Structure 1
């Protein structure tokens, strides 16, 4: 221990003191940064900025941009890299790519944005500085491309989940009406349903604190906005499509979550007050077929209590 203490004292001496030199000076040349990059690889932040420059170059081919967006998406899967988008000044530049003439570039950009926002409060807060949610909703409404709409839903979902501030902005921007208006579009209906189901479940979660979830009134707001009509229509349309089991399940679970909230809010709740009678009658005619689809499934989350609730809700039709 004494020897170690002496060594520490000697090594902390200044150049003007009589400390023995433990190394000899050597003439060395600084390594070329390019050589270091070749050996160790460039820092991820540098690579991300290089990708951004490539994406902004009007002479870069679309195919190359799509490939670079895939690479960027891979980088921002890491929370630290996603958080670096703000100090690197990349958020406004990414949002500007949503105005691209290429649907492929727009779709890839939305995918990058969604991945960066997932489970990342720091990135979500930074994204909000640039009216990001408003631009996502605008792109969702303006595009006729179902792939772009699907990717926009992915990004919106990544921003809203467990994020009350973003959810509040979503309501102010008319997000509910925007999603419900698009719900009849078959190619994106399941994504919308899944997002709304997740938000309804969050709003009724008794464990999560209020700062991280939508208010308890959210399911009632969906009902008042007329969500039952399109949901029952979807169920009636896809009940005979074998590959639609997942969509059927998500839609039924959303209906059940809304019904529970409705009966808790008002014991004498009637579906006819929020939904066209013809739509309800059509749904009721398919109810037994829906039961048959899930009756043989051992891993279905739908219980006998769930089916009883649906029977109760449609018993007066």
Structure 2
């Protein structure tokens, strides 16, 4: 085995003389070493098993979930969550008493379903999937860091996926808009991240079929008023303003019927953007500006 190690180091370093001294490895030793390489399926199972074991230290459980998320960044591994029957134990961990565990699981969900229709379908086939993420987002006692990851998971579960949105609507997910965002009154980094996730969620909700019911939700939950208020509070953050204008632009593209109050809020926002408008997306700015003509 020591000779095999020397051969491996010499090959990695590209040292011709060292390679010559090390010679060729013993085929049997090499086969034994390669045979010990653990495949991704085994690693996924083992990491989730460790993460679910309350007898392990919190740090080791967190590391296991971090490892699991790195594995499912691979599309095939993400889809294998269903094949390996791992969605149930993952969803059970959303009830863990430790906030860091809940946060990591929400992040895993968001990563698994991101731009992945197959995993979106698999995840939303579980009765407590979207529902649990909404409950976390609306829980007054939940930590902001966990809510940020829950919104990440919700956004990716609903984006361009009709069933995801239907479940979101059926579980009263629109309450998040009016209920959650007013937690962000304090000016700190966590709340800013929460606001960004809120914008991402809004964009996802508008990525599926638009109808009168969705329009009513937007008006009843005062989405435009909240959106323009947040944008005004973050007037110096160009990316935030761009995202906000893009969402209003999405609504325009959907032929959303803006009422007079909503138009008034948008006009006020545009007036406040006068000093930074040259830094914004010209296409989105002009589209939103068309409402005022």
- Shift of the 195–36 alpha-carbon distance from structure 1 to 2, 3 Å rule, reads farther
Distance 1:286 1:180 in 2: 19
1:81 CA displacement: 1.0
Pair 1:119 & 2:115 matched: yes
> Do structure 1's residue 59 and structure 2's residue 40 form an aligned pair?
no
Kindly indicate whether the alpha-carbon contact (under 8 Å) linking 1:167 and 1:214 is maintained by their aligned counterparts in 2.
no
Q: Give the structure 2 partner of residue 182 of structure 1.
A: 180
Match of 1:159 among 149, 152, 157: 157
Shift of 1:285: 5.0
Q: Are positions 1:307 and 2:256 aligned together?
A: no
| Counterpart check, 1:237 vs 2:238 | no
Of 203, 206, 215, 2:210 maps to 215
Identify which of 242, 247, 254 aligns with 2:247: 254
Spell out, residue by residue over 1:290-310, the C-alpha distance to the aligned partner (whole angstroms, 9 max, x if none).
132122x2755434343242x
How many residues end up aligned between the 2 structures? 254
Name the structure 2 match of 1:133. Answer: 130
Aligned equivalent of 2:200: 194
Contact persistence 1:223–1:258 (CA under 8 A): no
**1:184–1:253: structure 2 CA closer, same or farther, 3 Å change rule?**
farther
How big is each residue's C-alpha offset from its partner over 1:264-317, in whole Å with a ceiling of 9 and x where there is no partner? 465xx5322x69x8xx4xx7555333132122x2755434343242x34xxxxx
Write 1 or 2 for the structure with the bigger share of helix: 2
- How many Å separate the matches in 2 of 1:307 and 1:215? 22
| TM-score using structure 2 length | 0.76
| 8 Å Cα contact 1:117-1:158 kept in structure 2 | yes
Larger radius of gyration: 1
Q: Deviations over 1:209-236 (max 9, x none)?
A: xxxx333443453124321221222123
SS at the partner of 2:182?
coil
Kept in 2: contact 1:85–1:91 (CA 8 A): yes
Q: TM-score, normalised by structure 1?
A: 0.71
Cα 1:61–1:38 change in 2 (3 A) is farther
Query: What's 1:227 paired with?
Result: 223
Q: Report if the CA contact (8 A) 1:157-1:195 is conserved.
A: yes
Q: Residues 228-260 of structure 1, C-alpha deviation per residue, up to 9 Å, x if partnerless? A: 221222123222xx3x22112212222343356
Segments of 4+ moved more than 6 angstroms: none
Provide the aligned C-alpha RMSD in A.
2.7
Partner of 2:260: 271
- Counterpart check, 1:41 vs 2:37: yes
Q: Name the CA shift for 1:298/1:110 in 2 (closer, same or farther; >3 Å).
A: closer
Distance in 2 between residues matched to 1:191 and 1:233, nearest whole Å: 16
Q: Once the 2 structures are TM-superposed, how far is the Cα of residue 170 of structure 1 from its aligned partner?
A: 1.0
